[in-house]
């Protein structure tokens, strides 16, 4: 039976996801409607990730429950310019607050959440966490579309600010038996063998997360159609990830499941880069999202298997994710400069195709070699 602190953390994530999605699900559409250029919109994303990276470089110690509250507060403040002052400079300030909020919320949240891990539940635990947001996305994005059509964007963002108070108050109920230890000064070194994978994840996200909504605006500009498109993505994958992750934990064979879904994700991203109509775009993005939600729990379970502590893992992971995300935005800018934004989705496709190969090269699961098995002895000698 799940413990009370565990259930409260899941509830907190759902509440956080509710108000955050109320803001971010249609944020790119809002910026587009306000007349912001693609470069200005990419600056919103780039500042967000860069601010998170700088915050992690400066802040090394947290009181976890207190940090969660600060993370929620920063996230609420980041929405305020969208609601009441839609000036590009104010929104860039909001992006910086957003980035700080990412650090203060997700680092302590992940440390507290994954402190409940056991040898037999790592992938299933990851699947539950990764499935919360897609379920929230489906419901909230549709509601957000209805609100914008009926009352406009200011009403949507004002409601998101008000809803942010709910998880802030809820954190007062969080009582942990003990604060987890802080990571050692050499927390980066403690995750040897995983850092390349984390950085690759960051590049993938830094390209994909801004590119998908921006490319979708080439096909759909109506509010409700845009909302429906994103609400429809990934629900099946969220359900499937919970079921298949439990099988993986029982079988102890993470790569057996990670590899095919990672390859499928890679192929669908490459195909989506050349989709020429809304049907092809919707099909390839839907399948890419399905594959992504299926392989993410196994990717995270690999980190949990191999990292010495959750404290070192999730500090390092956020550092490298946000470094990779920032680089990903710069890559996107390069594609925009040559008027080929959609082609940028080849990059997360290549990451998906390369990810399982890198796992094997790192020799993280020597008993599960597939692609490189014939070269095992050569690799070990090298």
**DSSP codes, 260-321:** HHHHHHHHHHHHHTT--SHHHHHHHHHHHHHHHHHHHHHHHHHHHHH-S-HHHHHHHHHHHH
The model carries a pTM of 0.90
Domain of 224: which CATH number?
1.20.1250.20
How many domains does the chain contain in total? 1
- And the tokens for 68? 């969660």
**How confident is the model at residue 177, as a pLDDT?**
56
Rounded to 5°, angle at Cα 234 from 247 and 254: 25
pLDDT tens for residues 252-272? Answer: 677 777 889 999 999 999 999
Q: What is the dihedral of CA 109, 111, 116, 122, to 10 degrees?
A: 100
**How confident is the model at residue 109, as a pLDDT?**
92
192 torsion bin: left (phi>0), alpha (psi -120 to 50), beta (else)? beta
Domain extent for 116: 4-381
CB 220 within 8 A of CB 339: no
CB 47 within 8 A of CB 90: no
Other Cβ atoms less than 10 A from the Cβ of 325: the count is: 29
pLDDT tens for residues 41-94? Answer: 999 999 999 999 999 988 877 788 889 999 999 999 999 999 998 788 899 999
**How confident is the model at residue 380, as a pLDDT?**
46
Could you say which residues of the chain have pLDDT below 50?
A: 1, 377-382
Closest to 295 (Cα-Cα) out of 234, 250, 344:
234
């Amino acid at each position: 039976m799940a413990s009370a602190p565990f259930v409260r953390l899941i509830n907190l994530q759902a509440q956080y996801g509710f108000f955050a999605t109320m803001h971010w699900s249609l944020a790119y559409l809002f910026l587009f409607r306000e007349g912001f250029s693609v470069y200005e919109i990419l600056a919103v994303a780039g500042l967000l990730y860069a601010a998170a990276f700088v915050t992690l470089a400066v802040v090394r110690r947290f009181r976890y429950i207190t940090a969660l509250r600060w993370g929620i507060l920063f996230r609420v403040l980041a929405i305020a310019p969208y609601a009441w002052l839609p000036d590009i400079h104010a929104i860039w300030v909001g992006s910086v607050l957003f980035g700080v909020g990412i650090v203060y919320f997700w680092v302590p949240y992940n440390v507290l959440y994954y402190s409940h891990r056991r040898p037999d539940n790592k992938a299933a635990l990851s699947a539950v966490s990764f499935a919360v947001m897609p379920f929230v996305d489906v419901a909230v994005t549709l509601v957000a579309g209805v609100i914008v059509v009926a009352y406009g964007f200011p009403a949507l963002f004002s409601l998101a600010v008000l809803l942010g108070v709910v998880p802030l108050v809820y954190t007062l109920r969080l009582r942990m038996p003990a604060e987890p230890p802080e990571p050692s000064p050499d927390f980066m070194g403690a995750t040897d063998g995983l850092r390349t994978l984390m950085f690759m994840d960051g590049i993938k996200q830094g390209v994909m997360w801004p590119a998908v909504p921006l490319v979708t605006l080439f096909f759909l500009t109506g509010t409700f159609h845009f909302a429906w498109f994103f609400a429809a993505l990934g629900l099946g994958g969220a359900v499937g990830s919970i079921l298949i992750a439990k099988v993986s934990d029982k079988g102890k064979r993470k790569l057996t499941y990670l590899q095919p879904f990672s390859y499928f994700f890679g192929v669908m991203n490459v195909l989506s880069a050349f989709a020429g109509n809304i049907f092809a775009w919707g099909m390839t993005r839907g399948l890419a999202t399905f594959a992504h939600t299926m392989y993410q729990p196994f990717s995270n379970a690999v980190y949990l298997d191999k990292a010495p502590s959750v404290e070192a893992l999730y500090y390092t992971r956020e550092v490298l994710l946000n470094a990779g995300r920032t680089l990903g935005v710069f890559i996107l800018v390069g594609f925009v400069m040559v008027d080929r934004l959609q082609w940028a989705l080849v990059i997360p496709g290549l990451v998906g195709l390369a990810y399982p190969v890198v796992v094997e090269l790192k020799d993280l699961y020597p008993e599960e070699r597939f692609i490189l098995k014939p070269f095992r002895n050569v690799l070990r000698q090298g």
